């Protein structure tokens, strides 16, 4: 009986660690660095959008003064973040923190992007309402 209780406590501890908020890392400069998230294999549509976003980000790195490309990359980041946020195949801790990064990148490239600003605020408000730190 005691072994079962010990095993149960160990499992709960590991589960808690898996869902714990990651340590606060130094916040990268969103304006100069593209979103660097692992590709999400659990949702093929999100993974495809992430790959397209990465390609456009690389093009923007090669031509940082191309205003048209900059807006295109901003919109692609928004589309990727939105698809990630609405995905039914991803765990909430993956999709919301990931979408938040894409929305931040969108706003770094296009500060006037109203949809990205609204979605970013929604996610941040949800984290705050749960008493959780907003992911960086």
> pLDDT by residue (tens digit) across 5-64?
333 333 333 333 334 433 333 344 445 556 777 888 889 999 999 999 999 999 999 999
Residue 16 lies in a domain: no
Residue 4 lies in a domain: no
pLDDT in tens, 83-98: 999 999 999 989 999 9
Tokens of 97: 């923190």
Number of structural domains, the chain?
Answer: 1
Residue 1 lies in a domain: no
Residue 123 lies in a domain: yes
Residues 61, 85 contacting (CB under 8 angstroms): no
Residue 106 lies in a domain: yes
Residue 22 lies in a domain: no
Rounded to two decimals, the pTM is 0.75
Find the CATH number of the domain harbouring 58. Answer: 1.25.40
Residue 61 lies in a domain: yes
Residues 100, 124 contacting (CB under 8 angstroms): yes
Q: Which domain holds residue 110?
A: 30-129
Tokens of 95: 């999709």
Residue 136 lies in a domain: no
Angle, alpha carbons 59-61-67 (nearest 5°) = 75
């Amino acid at each position: 009986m005691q072994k079962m209780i010990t095993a149960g406590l160990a499992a709960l501890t590991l589960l808690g660690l898996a869902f714990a908020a990651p340590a606060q890392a130094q916040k990268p400069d969103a304006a100069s660095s593209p979103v660097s998230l692992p590709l999400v294999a659990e949702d093929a549509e999100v993974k495809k959008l992430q790959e397209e976003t990465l390609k456009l980000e690389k093009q923007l790195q090669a031509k940082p003064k191309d205003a048209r490309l900059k807006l295109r990359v901003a919109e692609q980041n928004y589309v990727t973040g939105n698809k990630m946020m609405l995905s039914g195949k991803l765990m909430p801790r993956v999709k919301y923190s990931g979408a938040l990064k894409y929305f931040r990148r969108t706003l770094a490239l296009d500060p006037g992007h109203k949809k990205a600003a609204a979605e970013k605020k929604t996610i941040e408000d949800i984290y705050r309402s749960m008493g959780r730190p907003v992911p960086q």
